[in-house]
Amino acid sequence: MAEWQEIIEKGKSSHKLTHEEICCLLAEPACEEELARAADEVRHAYVGDGVHLRGLIEFSNYCRQNCAYCGLRRDNKNIKRYRLSAAEIVALARQAQAYGYKTVVLQSGEDEYFTLPRLRAILLSIKELDLAVTLSIGERSYAEYKALREAGADRFLLRIETTDAELYARHDPGMSHERRLRCLQDLKTLGYEVGTGTLVGLPGQTIDMLARDILFYQQIDADMLGIGPLVPNPHTPLGDAAPGDWHLTRRFVAILRLLLPDSNIPATTAMDTLKPGGRDIMLRSGANVVMPNVTSGEARRNYALYPGKACVNDTPEHCRSCMSARIAAMGRFVAEDKGFRQRRKI
Ligand code: 5AD
Ligand code: SF4
Ligand code: FES
């Protein structure tokens, strides 16, 4: 038995791996299929065959931050900025509900136009629809997170991008790694389901750092984990960087499923962008969630984190039936419940 086979067996049965063992799997392309198969089995045993669809509403592409990789960064003058009105956002949530989605994800750049009272009004309207609501709006104060939670927000996504403070400082100028950690802690304290994740392929990122990311997610017991490879955006300082390694990202996600067996893990759009059909492969490599976009028209095109985003020219209706068919084709089904994390005995 190769060393990596023993490590996979250990991860699968004990849900614990050391830093060295994680590095070994990340660095070993030959283990990928077996690792993915083990992750798929753990996914089946802990979260079942239901795939949770979360309707993504990209409601503003304004951002006060300047992340080196992201097309929404404030210095990018090449995109047309937009904001949806409260009425438009609520209408999209209604649309998502009509498609049968049980959760909407409200995502934007860090846009200060959306003050607490504005967000609260939107949340209160959406909560009348009996949908779970996930926010993905970046860093806010404890008091704001608290008020948003009280207005009905159930979950929050805030990727740490990398747990390496120095690498973070290099690619996220003006942002504080410490503050980001505090935000995650605040969200947890307030009873949100907390999602975070890594951007795989940041220049300077090492296997060692990625292994530490994985152990960090296990340590904070993250409820959701969104992992994607870097897709270089020519309108950003990382335009000439190499794309993130798709296969390394797949191994990363599969290891997460072994170590956090009952968490919710999306098959991310960036995985489909670098390899058409990539999300399907991820659903068979540990993932159990997909976030189909319900934003339509110009807004959908202008929410350009990176070029070539999968589905950007498709309609929300088309994605909904496309995704349902893809899920059925792999012998799985669209889950009927809201898809909160169900803690299982590990
Ligand atoms: N490639 C891949 N992912 C990106 N993100 C931002 N820019 C890129 C890019 N060029 C991701 C970040 C952020 C999420 C909303 O999108 O990880 O957290
Ligand atoms: Fe803004 Fe998020 Fe893009 Fe950074 S990654 S520029 S915070 S939208
Ligand atoms: Fe968007 Fe298939 S999911 S076109």
Q: Which atom of ligand 3 is nearest to the CA of 290?
A: 3
Q: Whose CA is nearest to atom 3 of ligand 3?
A: 319
Quick check: 346 pLDDT over 90?
Answer: no
Percent of the chain with pLDDT over 70: 100
Gap between the Cα atoms of 265 and 291, Å rounded: 11
In tens, the pLDDT along 17-46 reads: 999 999 999 999 999 999 999 999 999 999
pLDDT for 291 equals 97
Contact 89, 122 (CB under 8 A): yes
Among the bound ligands, the one closest to the CA of 136: 1
In tens, the pLDDT along 262-278 reads: 999 999 999 999 999 99
In tens, the pLDDT along 48-98 reads: 999 999 999 999 999 999 999 999 999 999 999 999 999 999 999 999 999
Q: Which atom of ligand 3 is nearest to the CA of 320?
A: 3
Q: Which fold has domain 3-334?
A: TIM Barrel (3.20.20)
pLDDT for 1 equals 83
Q: Which atom of ligand 3 is nearest to the CA of 323?
A: 3
DSSP E strand boundaries for 34-94:
50-60
pLDDT for 344 equals 87
Distance 4 CA to ligand 1 centre (A): 30
DSSP conformational letter for 243: P
Q: Which atom of ligand 2 is nearest to the CA of 305?
A: 3
Closest CA to 290 of 97, 103, 46, 47: 103
Distance 240 CA to ligand 2 centre (A): 19
Distance 228 CA to ligand 1 centre (A): 7
Distance 6 CA to ligand 1 centre (A): 34
**Mean pLDDT to the nearest integer, 225-254:** 98
Instruction: Tell whether ligand 3 has an atom less than 6 A from the beta carbon of residue 158.
Output: no
Contact 58, 168 (CB under 8 A): no
Quick check: 345 pLDDT over 90?
Answer: no
In tens, the pLDDT along 132-188 reads: 999 999 999 999 999 999 999 999 999 999 999 999 999 999 999 999 999 999 999
Q: Which atom of ligand 2 is nearest to the CA of 71?
A: 3
- For the range 162-166, what are the long-range contacts, defined as Cβ-Cβ under 8 Å and sequence gap of 24 or more? 162/198, 162/199, 162/202, 162/205, 162/209, 162/213, 163/209, 163/212, 163/213, 163/216, 164/205, 164/209, 164/212
Residue written as token pair 């050391």: 18
Pocket test for ligand 2, best of 56, 61, 62, 72 (most atoms within 8 A of CB): 72
**Cα dihedral angle (69, 70, 75, 78), rounded to 10 degrees?**
120
Closest CA to 195 of 149, 170, 161: 161
| Euclidean distance between the first and the last CA atom of the chain, given in angstroms as a whole number | 26
Instruction: Tell whether ligand 3 has an atom less than 6 A from the beta carbon of residue 322.
Output: yes
Distance 34 CA to ligand 1 centre (A): 28
Q: Whose CA is nearest to atom 7 of ligand 1?
A: 70
pTM exceeds cut of 0.95: yes
